[in-house]
Structure formats: structure tokens, C-alpha cells
Amino acid sequence: MRDVRTGVFICDCGDRVASVLDMDALEEGVHDLPGVALAQRLRYSCSPDGLAAIRRAIAKRGLNRVLVAGCTPRTLQPRFLAACEQAGLDGALFELVDIREGCAWVHQDEPLAATAKAIDLVRMGLAKVALGQASEPATAQIVPAALVIGGGLAGMTAALTLASAGLPVKLVEREAALGGMLRDAHTLYPDRRNAAEFLAERVKAVTDHPSINVLLQSQVTSISGTVGCYTVSVNGPVGQQNNPSIFDVGAIIVATGVCASRPRGLFRYDGKRVVTQLEFERELRDRESGSQSTSLPANVVMILCAGQRNEAVPYCSAVCCMVALKQAMEVKATNPQVNVTIIFRDIYLLGEQNHEDELLKARQAGVEFMRYAPSSPPVVAQETVEVHDDLTGTSRRLPYDRIVLATPLLPQPDASVVAHMLNIAQDRNGFFPEGRYRLRPQNYAERGIYICGAAHCPAGWMEAEFQAVSAAFNAMRYLQAGTVTSRAPVSVVDEELCTGCGNCVETCPFGAISMRKREGVLDLSEIDPLLCKGCGNCVVACPVKAIRLPLNSDAQMLAQIDAALESVSQNGRPRILVFGCEGSSHAAAELAGANKLRYPTEVRLIRVQCAARFDPMHVLWAFFNGADGVFLGGCPPGDCHYTNGNRYAQRRINTLRGLLAESGFDPRRLRREWITPDDPRDFVGKITDFTNLIRALGPSPARKE
């Protein structure tokens, strides 16, 4: 550390910190730590005067590292980074240590212990920043063109929005005509406008626009390249598949929509007397257009939640209730003598309209509503529907000529193919969820891939249109920027150590890693810096430690562990080391401090980007160097900011606990918990419970006295 000259700036935060911590003792304790060239107190380090003082000190004292001991990094870190970079110091050589939420506010009743903890946290921060390395952002040019996959309402709307801004758009639709499910619609809810006329206007606007190239009966077969430039291959109609269309785009909008399920074997479905809502919509459309001359059935029974909101299809399709209400009113408007009954579990009418008035109008028109319990669904017999009405407490037998089933809207059959091709996630139902908002969005390269409409989740036509416009504006902003930049803490491969095993490729959730041939037998791992998000999963997965993460390297992690445990024997208290995922337990710990919720002073937190960075090697190092307990806090299953890092973490930690038990070491000293970021009481309760357990167990047998 001979070349390290770190300036440590200790923030009083007015009296928010200084009223609890012994600031003189803190300054004195920090001054003699290794690598410290300057220890200076500032009343408000984030103020213009405080930032100016930091910039002056960097220039005057020749500082090549800066550490601010103040508030949580979540609030003001960008301001400090900007000040350091204005003074010529790379942001990777700056560290913000939380002594306000992490010490002063959470340990108000124990000022001495809080001060000792603050010194430890500064020591840990110094150990980390001393090993930091300057980094260069990754940049790429963006091809100013877009691909829209799907020619339904959402896809057409997105294409028109982009084309209206002068951007060239390729619109790929697998069917022979644009429109998607809207082609089968009779009228649109809530104003019941003619769906065919509405669709014809939209199709004409798309096909007539000079900036939109519509590829019908076509399918995207491959997408290669990287952020900023995707090379797309599209196969056309049968007979043209040997000559695919290949082009480059900078942004891709996924608007693949949904498909309506056919409930084979459910409620005596036959597609004639018992039909789906979509089939009944076609019937209403054809009857009005004159292509179907038969009269309306005399008795229409509509069954909502038919084959959905159960174990097989747990979600609500969102639009069924509105469609049922619309269809019931259309039937009554055509022939008031038709008996229409809606059998429902619950009625969800989404949107801003006054749905209470709509329901009242339906009842006044003679539409009957009956509610059934999930445990007692309607039973369809040969001529009647048997149902127990929860609203009246009576059982009824309803004659029917037509049963209309509100069946679920499902993801497209090839949704998993699209997900694999674009390396985007699918939720447990098969839809494409909205991408998680990163904790530091300025650090990450936007991929230029956007989801809209029912491909994201079942949605009505107005919601699909809104999502399409939103996705198009995001894509427009992205394309017009011209370049894309990532400051993410990108993983780096040591070519001399890499054995080409491919573990990193399998574990990367972002498709950022590939293998390439090199001279000799062994392949080489390559990481795309614009796709890497710095979760650290590959670093842990690499069996030979050939991959490092510059802002959270193994050396930095081990140095922080050593620093955290350096004072472990001074007060006789146990030492609890917490590895906290930035998106969950670390956020909850910060929120606990902000709310002045107390937890034990024995706890020392080390922040990581993701639970994927939980490395068994680090845990063992902590135990061997004096930790009495190690607590790992990650995002709950399904909520990982890095897709599936928590799943890998769970597998690794479960294996480690088993190995510890086999070796005679009490595995209770290692705990993994799922914690939501907005539940500080959950964090406080779990870390307090764990600390009490460690107190009861006593010092770790691995501790070196």
C-alpha cells in the first residue's frame, strides 16, 4: 500500500452523526490507519463547500483514493463521484462508508460501540478502496433502426410511433395479415366502436408509411450481435425460406401478444353450444355483418374464470370481465328478450371508466349476475348449468342455448424461443416481465430491447396501445442517443488462468459470456462489457478463479473481511459478518437505519451487487479469521435484480452448510435469509435473532485467539 494516498473525509452531517458518535475519537482512530494521507472532518461533506474541499484536497495533497464517511451510498454517492471525477480521480477509486444510517442512527443508545463500529467500517472501506483500479467505460455506436416483432395492435402502434420520428422500422408478423386478435373482435370496450373499422385505419397507416417495412408470413429465426447493433435474420413465406432477409437494428420491440386457449374437456366445451369469448365475439361480428343469418340464442350463460386463477393457470387474464359485460350488453341491445346470465367469481373492470354505472346499466337491461365460490364451480349438464349463487344463498339450474367461457389468455407457444433468442426473462407463467430497474442505472448499458402489450401480460386494447407508445418512446430515446455507454463493474478474464471449462457461460444470466477458440486445446472465455451487469456469478462459478470483478474483487472482499475482524477480540463480543445483497438485505439495513430501528452492534456489513457474489471461499475465510457467525441476505426467490443470482447462491450455501456439518463445524453459524428491500423490520428481526443465537453458541471454535 506504499503508493496509496487516501483522503478520508468524515462528515458530521450537522449534528446527525456528531451528536451520537465520538467524532474526535473517530478522527483519531482513522488517522493512523494504513494508506491514510489525510483525515479531515467536514460539517456537511455533500454541500457545495464540502465537495469543493474534497476537490481541493485531491489536487493539493496528491490523493489517489478518496473515502467519505457519511451517509448511505444510495442517496448521495453520484454527487461525490462527480466531484472526484471533476478533480481527475476515477470513480472506481472512491468509497462512501455509511456511518449515519449504519452507526449513529441505528445504535443511538450505544455511542461507544457505535463509534467503534464506525472505525471498523472506515477500516473496511479503506481496505477495499486501496485495492481499487481505475476503469474505462465501454461504449458502442447504435444502429438507428428498429425491429418490431408482432403485428398486432401493440406492434403496429410501436412501429408507427417510431416511424413518425423518422426512424426506419422492420415490422415482422407471422400471419398473412396485420391485426392479431383484434381481427376477430366485433366492438371495442368501453365505447363499443366498430373493431374492423378501427383496425382498418391502423393497418392502412402502417402499410402506407414510407419508413415501415412490413414483413408478413415471416418469422425471426436468429438474432446475433450485441448492444447497439443486432443482426437479425428473418425467414419469409414458404418458398422464400432459402433466402432469408438479414439486416441490422439498434433496438427491438417485442409485441408478440397472446393466444386464446381452447378448454378441451372443460364445461362440455365443443366450439358450438359451448364456446370461448373469442369465438362468441366472432359470432356477434359475423351476425352483424350478415355473414351469419341465424338468430341469437335464447339463453346465454357466461362463465368467468373458466380454466384460470387455479393451480394450472394462476393468473387473471385481466380483460375477460370487461369482454363479458360488453358482450352481454350487445346481446341485450340486439334482442332484449334473450336471457343473459353472467356467473362470476369476482368482477375486475380495469381502467378509468365508471364501471359501477356500466354494471348498473347491465342489470337494468336484464343481465343477471350470479357469484360462485372457487370450491363450488358451475356444473354444465346436457341442457342446464347448475350453480350455487353466493349472492342469494340459493342453488339454480339455468337452461342454456349458448355457454360462453372466459378462458385464459396464454403466452405464445414459441415464447420460450423468443426469450432464448433475445436472452430475456420469462415469468413463471411464461410472459416477458418488465426489466428490473437497476440500483444504479447510470452504470448499465441499456440493451435496447423493450416489451409491450400482452406479451408482457394480458391487457386490454387501450393498455396495449399505451404500453406500445411507452416502449416506442424509450426505443426512440435510445436510438437517437447514437451511442451507448456502460460503467458497470464488468468482470474480466485472466487469459493465462482460463481453462475453457464453460462454467461461466452456463451461469451468466445475461448471455454476456461466450467461448472462442484459441491456439492449443483450451478455449477462452470472453465477456461482452456491454452485456455484463457485474453480478459476480461467473467469478464464483469459475473453478480456477480466472475471472475477477474489479469493484468487488476477491482481494477486496478478503481485505474487507480481514478489516472487519481486526478488532474482534478487543471487547469480548461476538462478531457477526453480514454479506448483504445491494438490492435486498443491504437496502433493508439502510432503511432500518433511516427509521432508527436498532439491531446489535456486533454486526458488520459487506455490500455485494447480488447474492450470486456469495462465495463459499469468502465465508470460510471469515470463519478462519475470527467471525463467530456469517449472515447472508439476498432477494426472495423470483425477485433477484440479476435474474437468478439468488438461486445460485442458495445452491452454493446449502452445499457449504452440508460440508461444514460433515467436518464437525456447527452449520447454524452460517445463515442464509431472503429479505425484501422495503421491510427493514424483517432485516432487524432476522439479524437480531441470528446474533442472539451466536451469543448463545459462544465464540467460534475456528477463531484464532
Mean pLDDT per segment of 10 residues, for the chain of length 705 residues? 87 94 95 94 96 97 96 90 94 94 96 95 96 87 97 97 97 96 90 92 97 96 93 83 87 96 91 95 86 83 95 92 94 95 90 73 95 95 95 95 96 94 89 68 77 93 94 96 87 94 93 90 91 92 94 94 83 88 94 96 94 96 95 91 90 96 96 95 97 95 72
**What is the DSSP secondary-structure string of 481-530?**
H-EEEE-S---EE-TTT-----HHHHH-TTS-EEEE--SSS--EEEE-TT
Strands 229-235 and 94-98: unpaired
Is residue 133 within 8 Å of residue 123, measured between CB atoms?
no
Is residue 508 within 8 Å of residue 547, measured between CB atoms?
no
Measured distance between the N- and C-terminal CA atoms of the chain, rounded to whole angstroms = 27
Q: Residue 238: its pLDDT value, please?
A: 63
- CATH number given to 273-407: 3.50.50.60
Count of beta carbons in the 10 Å neighbourhood of residue 115: 22
Q: Does domain 1-135 have CATH number 3.40.50?
A: yes
Q: Residue 3: its pLDDT value, please?
A: 87
Q: Does domain 549-705 have CATH number 3.40.50?
A: yes
Render pLDDT for 166-211 as a digit per residue (tens, 0 to 9).
999 999 999 999 999 999 999 998 888 999 999 999 999 999 999 9
Q: Residue 644: its pLDDT value, please?
A: 87
Task: Give the C-alpha separation, 684 to 686, whole Å.
Answer: 6
Task: Give the C-alpha separation, 112 to 266, whole Å.
Answer: 69
11: Cβ–Cβ under 8 A, 6 or more apart, which residues?
17, 41, 42, 43, 44, 45, 46, 50, 68, 69, 70, 71, 99, 100
Give me 390's grid cell.
353466493
Q: Phi first, then psi: what are they for 284, rounded to 5°?
A: -65, -40
Identify the helix (H) or strand (E) that includes residue 690: helix 680-697
3-class secondary-structure state, position 604 = strand
Q: How far is CA 302 from CA 89, 343, 367, 526, in A?
A: 68, 6, 11, 57
Q: Residue 264: its pLDDT value, please?
A: 86
Give me 527's grid cell.
465477456
Task: Give the C-alpha separation, 665 to 701, whole Å.
Answer: 8
Q: Residue 436: its pLDDT value, please?
A: 59
pTM of this structure: 0.83
Task: Give the C-alpha separation, 347 to 320, whole Å.
Answer: 9
Break the chain into its structural domains and give their ranges.
Answer: 1-135, 146-259+411-485, 273-407, 490-545, 549-705
Q: Over the range 545-561, which residues count as b (16 or more CB within 10 Å of their CB) and which as e? A: ebbbbbbbbbebbbbbb
Within this chain, domains 1-135 and 549-705 share the same CATH topology? yes
Task: Give the C-alpha separation, 168 to 135, whole Å.
Answer: 35
446, amino acid identity: E
Render pLDDT for 69-113 as a digit per residue (tens, 0 to 9).
999 988 889 999 999 999 999 988 999 999 999 999 999 999 999
Nearest CA to 511 out of 423, 642, 640, 613 is that of: 423
Give me 96's grid cell.
462512501
Count of beta carbons in the 10 Å neighbourhood of residue 531: 22
Render pLDDT for 583-598 as a digit per residue (tens, 0 to 9).
899 999 999 999 999 9
Q: Residue 503: its pLDDT value, please?
A: 95
Q: Phi first, then psi: what are they for 370, rounded to 5°?
A: -135, 135
CATH entry, 490-545, from 3.40.50.2300, 3.30.70.141, 3.40.50.970, 3.30.70.20: 3.30.70.20
331: Cβ–Cβ under 8 A, 6 or more apart, which residues?
284, 296, 300, 338, 340
Give me 664's grid cell.
464437525
Q: Which long-range contacts (CB under 8 A, 24 or more apart) does 437-444 make?
A: 438/533, 438/641, 439/74, 439/582, 439/583, 439/587, 439/641, 442/78, 442/487, 443/486, 443/487, 443/488, 443/489, 443/534, 444/486, 444/487, 444/488, 444/533
Strands 576-581 and 603-608: parallel
Task: Give me the residue label for grid cell 372466459.
Answer: 406
Task: Give the C-alpha separation, 278 to 404, whole Å.
Answer: 9
56, amino acid identity: R
Q: Residue 433: its pLDDT value, please?
A: 86
Is residue 78 within 8 Å of residue 71, measured between CB atoms?
no
Q: Which long-range contacts (CB under 8 A, 24 or more apart) does 157-160 make?
A: 157/202, 157/464, 157/465, 157/468, 157/469, 157/472, 158/253, 158/255, 158/452, 158/468, 158/469, 158/471, 158/472, 158/475, 159/206, 159/209, 159/212, 159/253, 159/472, 160/202, 160/205, 160/206, 160/209, 160/212
Task: Give the C-alpha separation, 556 to 299, whole Å.
Answer: 74
Task: Give the C-alpha separation, 153 to 131, whole Å.
Answer: 53
In this structure, what DSSP letter does residue 597 have?
Answer: -
Task: Give me the residue label for grid cell 461533506.
Answer: 45
Which CATH architecture fits 146-259+411-485?
A: 3-Layer(bba) Sandwich (3.50)
Task: Give the C-alpha separation, 61 to 55, whole Å.
Answer: 10
Strands 65-70 and 94-98: parallel
